[in-house]
Structure 1
Amino acid sequence: METLTANAAATADIYRPALHYAARNTWLNDPNGLIFHEGVYHLYYQNNPLGNVWGNMSWGHATSTDLLTWTEHPVAIHCDENEDIFSGSIVHDRDNTSGFGTGSAGPLVAIYTSAFKPGSRHEGIQAQSLAYSLDGGYTWTKHANNPVLTRGSANFRDPKVIKYDGGAGSYWVMVAVEARDFKVVLYKSDDLKNWEPLSDFGPANATGGIWECPDLFPLPVDGDPDNVKWVLTVNLNPGGPNRGSAGQYFVGDFDGTSFISTSTVTTGLNNPDLSREYQWLDWGRDYYAAVSFSDAPDNRRLMIGWMNNWEYANHIPTTPWRSPMSLAREMSLQTIEGSLSLVQRPAGYWTALAGQEPFSLADTTINDGEQVLAGAAGTVQRIDVTLTSGTAEEFGLILRGDGANGTRVGIRPDEGKLFVDRRESGQTGFHKAFPSLDTAPIRATSGSYSLTIFVDRCSVEVFAQGGQVTMTELIFPAENSTDLSVFAVGGTATVTSLQVTQLA
């Protein structure tokens, strides 16, 4: 663990998020084992309990009842002399198919990757192992006969297990990856202990970096329960649309054996910017390893990602803690211009966090230049804004500004682009890859663009056009950089509506 001077500790504290989970004083990365159980959301995650850079991988643990306020608990599953505990998932084994339960209570079972250390019996390989909990997820016992599934591979990891009930029967299905082969591998089991292969998927679409942290889940199309498609998500590092770590998804069908994508890009291979044609979970630089909750209430599909990027993850200036999680997002599958696309909306009970009366503005022209909005300053905010094109070549908002610097979130209508420019967002010099101008495709609706933006002490999350496009970015502004401004370049635009809610 790093030792802090008083000044460094004070500086680090100004970045601790109010809306997002971060460990108290250690490192975290990928979310693991997300499950809703007995009225509580459980967030497990890759954690270094001994420091604030990657290493000593174990499963940290936090809980919430509202997806916004999190309580940190002791480390759930520890690394030891034989293995690091890499990513995985948790299921509620209601029927005690594993035999780990006692009496009528079905256990929680964690399926995780054992990354075996030098000198261990399985040195050099990654394989899938089990641990179980009989107290609702707070204490865990490793299975005596681990690992339960091995391929003799050094890069076989990140199992997400679901319960499949369909035409082929009822059984557990595991989706994992052969990371360097750009493959998702599927297995089935009746008891979580004995696994047999089903099929492979990939390579497909983005293969600019290793594949990690897959997920597989069904969603109704446009809310129709009689029309269900399956979504396969897979994260990759590097190879994202704006450099570094990112997540992509495929839409298709799953028959209990094979996933068949109907959204793989197979044409336009001479396009030098083919990545813009892929379906990305998020277009920002800081949304990775996203996975969904098991057993979320009302069949909601809720997802959380790690809010960082492996290009600079170990260097962000948030000592002694390092890395937050994203907000939880509710996923839906909608038909947009003839194609099926994931739409993501922030999940959580936001009204309970609202502070003073919101700042509002309507039907206001933005002239060429920047205009500070008196009364709209803050450090933790929800901003709902609709902007309408005029003659400006770009327009938008400047977040966490100080008159000279700030994070620009804007639209370039002629290019059909949403952008986040954090090159002058505050501290950017800690790593050469951090300063960035990142873009995403966006289409106007009757000439207008609607954005919901969550500003926290070290991050910006943008949900555009009702969640059709999202961008997630870390920022590290000065404590006194609190202004909110509007801007236009080369002409005018209109703030059709704006509401700024300060969040406690």
Structure 2
Amino acid sequence: MSGRMVFSVMHKRFSLLLLVLLLVGGCQRPMNDSQTALAPQNSPESRPAVPSAAPTPRPVETQAAASVQPTPGPKTPVDYLATSEARDAYEYPISEASRYQQVYRPQFHFSPAKGWLGDPDGMIRFNNLYHIFWWGHAESKDLVHWNERIWPMIGDNGSFVYYSGSVVVDKHNTSGLAVDSDQPPMIAVYTMHYQGTGEEVQGLSISYDYTSFVYYDQNPVLDSERPAFRDPQVFYHPETDRWIMIITLSDDRKVSFYASQDLKHWEHLSDFGPIGAQSQVWEVPDIFQLSVDGDPTQKKWVLLCGIGPNREQYFVGDFNGKRFTLDPALNGYLLRGEGLPGAVFADFEKGLPAGWTSEGDEIAIGNGENLGLYKTSGFLGAGFLSTYTPGSKTGDRGLATVTSPEFVISTRFINFLVAGGAHGSDGSISLVVDGAAIRRASGDGSDIMKWVSWDVTELAGKKAQIQIVDQRTASDLGHVSVDHILFSDTPMVSGREHANWLDHGADYYAVRTYRDYDNAEDRVVTMGWLGNWEYANDVPTSWGKGALALPREISLASYAGGLRIVQRPIPAFEGLRQEPIQIKQRTLQGITPLSEFKPARNTYEIDATFEITDPKAKFGIKTVVNGDHGVSVGYDANTATLFLDRTNSENARFSGRFAKYMTAPLAPQNGKVRLHIFVDQSSIEVFANDGVVTMSALMFPSPNSLGTELFSEGGETNLQSLRAWELDSIWGVPAE
């Protein structure tokens, strides 16, 4: 959950502990939302001074309108800035190097001096400065070095909490709130969350000095009269000459689009969803344009959406100023599994396939709703098989065994979607060879379909059958649901819903894009939160909680399965590099300490390219090594899988959900795998094969865990090249 404005005092889950953190820390309230991508063509400031399609500029009032007066307080925001309350706000401490020396403190990722940081909000470039809010505030000239500013949100009556949102620069005074024709107002648009009722409405705050944002006394400007309505991202759409808001209906797994001429009055346009991953709430949406394969004449719209507690999915399509529609290829991929590598063995679109048998009580094939399984999602096509039977029939009490015809195993993997109770052999799908079940899987206790991938490489040539067994009569999801059994040489990620995932690590969420109000960028840059709501309040950091991931340049590229996002770290971080160590052409077998690289602290970058010489080898780099402890990043050539393993990292037991082994499918490029890794005290970010796949994760090694190792298990691997650099601190903190 991270729909809180930058400062994310987060959802319902956040409570007293977080509030205490907020009050003690520099970021006292949540906010999270950013401005749309660095997409100059979509921002009002990119238009000519008197553009034909520009909104009609409103006259600048000589006195601030009464409608922007704070509640309670002085009559205007300008007057407000002279009050003692505003002066007190300016006493918020600015960052100093001495404040950035704590254990686990990131040295080249942004984190606030103290307090909570959650979703990034208000991400804009304006007057040659990059801004980031969390409803704290920081500025940067290069997206690398940051200056933390005073607490920005002032003038409200304290009855609500700031959740996530965005910031716009109203250069044409469409709002009528400007007081100086040479100083356009900067306007924050955010969710006002009322903790007592859970109600969420949208409000504005206005800034004329680009430092303090004064509460607008006509708030709320948008009220859906319902909870779970949050995280507005606002941008200007020149084709329709109006502001567009994208916002989530979190519980419904939808995003809504609204339009406004003045930022104060909003009209509902359309909804998108539910589709893709739906097991958790949707939050922190964004939408922006990307060129396809670098061709500026071919553009697609990309819609990002967080799915709690830690995932980010994306959709590619078109936006006409009113409605977002999926690209046809992606629509087929998400709804029907079109483009998935392999051959479909059974998809249950037209009932039980030929040759399959069913014994026991009646089984059902349908779309969930017609089976009485109203919450089932994630299946592909028109329906799926379930041992649950609807209405007045047996429901969960039925017993059934469904068996496929015999087949010969000829691919490396058997992939399928499964849901239902986690009841082991009492409710499962099995692979039967020579009369014995040698692979078995069940649902995870929900009716959300998730992938399971069986590696059957060593069973090639064997005769086998698929068997679905339900021997559970209790009403505790005592059924098995199965869909889209696929024979393939490419694995799916087990335990994951069918979706397009932006990052495959455990700790990358609430991603937003920068909007360029200087019309100076030819790129789209994202930033996300390095965090996970499963343990965000428990991480062992002393100054507060939360940091931001590296800013990433993102692009859209064509692949066999359709259009996919590619991500790379912005080049500006190369300026932090110290002298490199370099290695070329080294044969790896077993564990090889990287003795040439001796970092003084865990702030470094490694760029390594491996050549696959044994198809059964598992190879890579182990970071933050201390004895047997460490965090490994590697590639399993046998399963064509990238992995990040922190199960044996130090200080991983503060939460039972932290010690994770993360995987993602990754095809080698011309028989090679490139791993570009950034380690920064308490985080690791991996860009594989030039950013085709990324993984981001937290870790908490001790300060003396400075070892680095190369490894190749199960066979030899050729390390073609490796470069490694220690990276300087952006806060000027020397390495001890």
- Mark yes or no: TM-score above 0.5: yes
Map of 1:198 onto structure 2: 269
Equivalent residue letter for 1:133: S
Partner Cα separation in structure 2 for residue 491 and residue 198 of structure 1? 57
Equivalent residue letter for 1:403: G
Say which of 701, 705, 710 aligns to 1:477: 701
How far does residue 258 in structure 1 lie from its aligned partner after superposition? 0.3
Partner Cα separation in structure 1 for residue 166 and residue 538 of structure 2? 28
Equivalent residue letter for 2:628: A
Partner Cα separation in structure 2 for residue 140 and residue 84 of structure 1? 15
Equivalent residue letter for 2:277: A
Map of 2:574 onto structure 1: 351
Partner Cα separation in structure 2 for residue 276 and residue 364 of structure 1? 39
Say which of 292, 298, 315 aligns to 1:250: 315
Map of 2:185 onto structure 1: 107
Partner Cα separation in structure 1 for residue 594 and residue 198 of structure 2? 57
Partner Cα separation in structure 2 for residue 205 and residue 188 of structure 1? 25
**1:319-358 pair list within 5 angstroms:** 319-337=542-560, 339-355=562-578, 357-358=579-580
Partner Cα separation in structure 2 for residue 416 and residue 11 of structure 1? 40
**1:69-88 pair list within 5 angstroms:** 69-77=145-153, 80-88=157-165
How far does residue 11 in structure 1 lie from its aligned partner after superposition? 12
Equivalent residue letter for 2:511: A
Map of 2:659 onto structure 1: 435
How far does residue 28 in structure 1 lie from its aligned partner after superposition? 1.2
**1:140-289 pair list within 5 angstroms:** 140-166=213-239, 169-238=240-309, 245-262=310-327, 263-264=330-331, 265-268=334-337, 269=379, 271-272=416-417, 273-274=450-451, 275=496, 277-289=498-510
Q: Does the 8 A contact of 2:242 with 2:259 survive in 1? A: yes
Q: Cα deviation per residue 1:380-439 (whole Å; 9 max; x = unaligned)?
A: 111111111122431100011123211000001121110000011211010000001000
Map of 1:127 onto structure 2: 201
Q: Does the 8 A contact of 1:453 with 1:463 survive in 2? A: yes
Map of 1:48 onto structure 2: none
Equivalent residue letter for 1:95: H
How far does residue 99 in structure 1 lie from its aligned partner after superposition? 1.2
Report SS of the residue matched to 1:216. strand
Partner Cα separation in structure 1 for residue 116 and residue 259 of structure 2? 33
Map of 2:582 onto structure 1: 360
Q: Does the 8 A contact of 1:12 with 1:317 survive in 2? A: no
**1:297-446 pair list within 5 angstroms:** 297-337=520-560, 339-355=562-578, 357-367=579-589, 369-378=590-599, 379-391=602-614, 392-446=616-670
Stretch deviating more after TM superposition (344-353 or 428-437): 344-353
Report SS of the residue matched to 1:310. coil
Q: Does the 8 A contact of 1:22 with 1:321 survive in 2? A: no
RMSD of equivalent CA atoms:
1.9
- Give the strand-richer structure, 1 or 2: 1
Q: Does the 8 A contact of 1:385 with 1:497 survive in 2? A: yes
Map of 1:490 onto structure 2: 714
Equivalent residue letter for 1:442: L
Q: Does the 8 A contact of 1:12 with 1:319 survive in 2? A: no
Partner Cα separation in structure 1 for residue 265 and residue 114 of structure 2? 38
How far does residue 328 in structure 1 lie from its aligned partner after superposition? 0.5
Partner Cα separation in structure 2 for residue 156 and residue 416 of structure 1? 40
**Percent identity between the two aligned chains:** 37
Map of 1:92 onto structure 2: 169
Partner Cα separation in structure 1 for residue 653 and residue 717 of structure 2? 33
Partner Cα separation in structure 2 for residue 478 and residue 348 of structure 1? 29
Map of 2:119 onto structure 1: 30
Map of 2:376 onto structure 1: none
Report SS of the residue matched to 2:574. helix
Partner Cα separation in structure 2 for residue 474 and residue 499 of structure 1? 23
How far does residue 227 in structure 1 lie from its aligned partner after superposition? 0.8
TM-score by length of 2: 0.62
Report SS of the residue matched to 1:305. strand
How far does residue 334 in structure 1 lie from its aligned partner after superposition? 1.1
TM-score by length of 1: 0.90
Partner Cα separation in structure 1 for residue 567 and residue 503 of structure 2? 9
Q: Cα deviation per residue 1:88-139 (whole Å; 9 max; x = unaligned)?
A: 0011111010111123122111110011243xxxx5410111111111x211
How far does residue 277 in structure 1 lie from its aligned partner after superposition? 4.4
Q: Does the 8 A contact of 2:529 with 2:547 survive in 1? A: yes
Report SS of the residue matched to 1:312. coil
The runs of at least 4 consecutive aligned structure 1 residues that moved more than 6 Å come to: 9-12
Q: Cα deviation per residue 1:347-383 (whole Å; 9 max; x = unaligned)?
A: 151232112x20111111101x211111213211111
How far does residue 222 in structure 1 lie from its aligned partner after superposition? 1.0
Q: Cα deviation per residue 1:194-218 (whole Å; 9 max; x = unaligned)?
A: 1101100000100010000000101
Report SS of the residue matched to 2:638. helix
How far does residue 251 in structure 1 lie from its aligned partner after superposition? 0.1
- Cα distance change on mapping 1:86 and 1:10 into 2, 3 Å: closer
Map of 2:475 onto structure 1: none
Stretch deviating more after TM superposition (310-319 or 384-393): 384-393
Q: Cα deviation per residue 1:436-480 (whole Å; 9 max; x = unaligned)?
A: 100011010111011211110001000111111110000111111
Q: Does the 8 A contact of 2:282 with 2:308 survive in 1? A: yes
- Cα distance change on mapping 1:20 and 1:156 into 2, 3 Å: same
Stretch deviating more after TM superposition (335-344 or 295-304): 295-304
Q: Does the 8 A contact of 1:382 with 1:452 survive in 2? A: yes
Equivalent residue letter for 1:411: Y
Q: Does the 8 A contact of 1:162 with 1:174 survive in 2? A: yes
Q: Does the 8 A contact of 1:450 with 1:465 survive in 2? A: yes
Q: Does the 8 A contact of 2:231 with 2:284 survive in 1? A: yes
Report SS of the residue matched to 1:406. strand
Report SS of the residue matched to 1:349. helix
Say which of 137, 144, 164 aligns to 1:61: 137
Equivalent residue letter for 1:139: S
Map of 2:74 onto structure 1: none
Report SS of the residue matched to 2:649. coil
Equivalent residue letter for 1:16: R
Q: Cα deviation per residue 1:10-47 (whole Å; 9 max; x = unaligned)?
A: 999121001111111211111111111111111101xx
Q: Does the 8 A contact of 1:452 with 1:464 survive in 2? A: yes
Q: Does the 8 A contact of 1:76 with 1:140 survive in 2? A: yes
Partner Cα separation in structure 2 for residue 390 and residue 459 of structure 1? 31
Q: Does the 8 A contact of 2:100 with 2:107 survive in 1? A: no
Partner Cα separation in structure 2 for residue 190 and residue 95 of structure 1? 11
Q: How many residues align?
A: 471
